[in-house]
Structure 1
Amino acid sequence: MQPSLSSGIIRAIQLADNAAMAGVIRQVMTEFGAVGEGYSINDPEVDFLYEAYQSPGKAFFVIEHERQVKGGAGIAPLKGGDPGICELQKMYLLPSIRGMGLGKQLLVHCLEVARKLGYQQCYLETVKRMEKAQQLYLSFGFRPLPGPLGNTGHYTTDAWYVLDL
């Protein structure tokens, strides 16, 4: 299913989207100073998102705006966590599409898919300096946590949230 947006579409990632989505991740993480050890920018799957999200219980979606991939996010089982908990992963949007409601639509879609996959909770981790993203998560009912869940390997995050699905 491809939710139609007034200014683009949300669709499942395709093999041809790997380079563009890796570029989005690197640009946004660099913008927020989230580079170096312990950040998801160094995850091996950044360059191979299509392949990384082909397993059961996983899904990754991109925002295509003006015929270009300008954002995306994925759902996957929380590594080292309870099997009923998924993680919202690598949700990043380029500055050119922020404030248009596309991130909200992407999050709605990811949470719908998580429910369909049978998850009971959705976890995410981020950094406090990504203030607008945290406002979005809170508006959806995500609750702040005192520390991380699971074992994602992202030891530099400093904000953790969970949502009952």
Structure 2
Amino acid sequence: MNTWKIREIKPEDNQQVKDLIRSVLVEMGVPKVGTAYEDKALDDMTLTYEGERREYFVVEENSKIIGGAGIAPLTGLETEVCELQKMYFLPEARGRGIGMQMINKCIDFGREHGFTKCYIETLPYMENARRLYDKNGFEVIEKPLGDTGHYNCTVFMTKELT
């Protein structure tokens, strides 16, 4: 039986989620500019993911947030393409199948809201994340889609949702 659960973000989760994302980015050696690290969205993730066709999910275990991921329309291609965003897990959440379940939850949300494709940006050295995306049917594409503002992310992947 799982000791953790995936649920929608609540306002009281905002600081924990911001700290989690930044700590994972620092752990991975990600640049602090041109990546999610400097996103203003981190200041109020509940507000960022309010509205239609967007949601941020957290993984909670023993009252602690140990991971999260968002799904939202991709800026510039809002009608057809959703973006898997800000998917990060603390070390204690990794290797437990949580990432796969989180991707499935986000992909299901995308399908339910009429998106035909899902897009991800990542970094070449985030190998575990890239393997997880591969296993879930994401394929590398040559150029970025939309306008994420993450100019330091150089690996672009998509998955058909139809």
TM, length-normalised to structure 1 = 0.95
Return the match for 2:102 from 92, 102, 106.
106
Equivalent of 2:24 in 22, 28, 36: 28
Counterpart Cα distance in 2 of 1:47 and 1:21: 9
Partner of 1:39: 35
Supply the distance in 2 between the matched residues of 1:142 and 1:82 (Cα, whole angstroms). Answer: 19
* Secondary structure of the corresponding residue to residue 87 of structure 1: strand
- What is aligned with 1:17? 13
Moved over 6 A (4+): none
Equivalences for residues 86-165 of structure 1 within 5 A: 86-165=82-161
Task: Give unmatched runs, 5+ long, in structure 2.
Answer: none
Q: What is the identity, as a one-letter code, of the residue corresponding to 1:147?
A: K
Name structure 1 gaps, 5 residues minimum: none
Structure 2 counterpart of 1:138, one-letter code: D
Paired residue type of 1:9: K
Q: Distance in 2 between matches of 1:35 and 1:67?
A: 30
Of stretches 79-88 and 47-56 in structure 1, the one that deviates more from structure 2 is 79-88
Paired letter, 1:131: E
Post-superposition CA distance 1:34-88 (Å, at most 9, x none): 1322111111011210110011111110000122001100011101225200000
C-alpha contact (below 8 Å) 2:31/2:152 kept by paired residues: no
Inter-partner Cα distance in structure 1 for 2:155 and 2:122: 5
C-alpha separation in 1, matches of 2:106 and 2:63? 21
Distance 2:140 2:71 in 1: 19
3-state SS of 1:79 partner: coil
* SS of alignment partner, residue 6 of structure 1: coil
Aligned partner of 1:79 in structure 2 is 75
TM-score by length of 2: 0.96
| Partner residue of 1:52 out of 41, 48, 53 | 48
| Alignment: residue pair count | 161
Query: 1:122 aligns to what SS in structure 2?
Result: strand
Provide the aligned C-alpha RMSD in A: 1.0
Q: Match of 1:46, SS?
A: helix
More displaced, 86-95 or 30-39?
30-39
Q: Distance in 2 between matches of 1:10 and 1:59?
A: 12
- Which amino acid in 2 is paired with 1:114? G
CA distance in 2, matches of 1:97, 1:76: 23
Give 1:127's aligned amino acid.
L
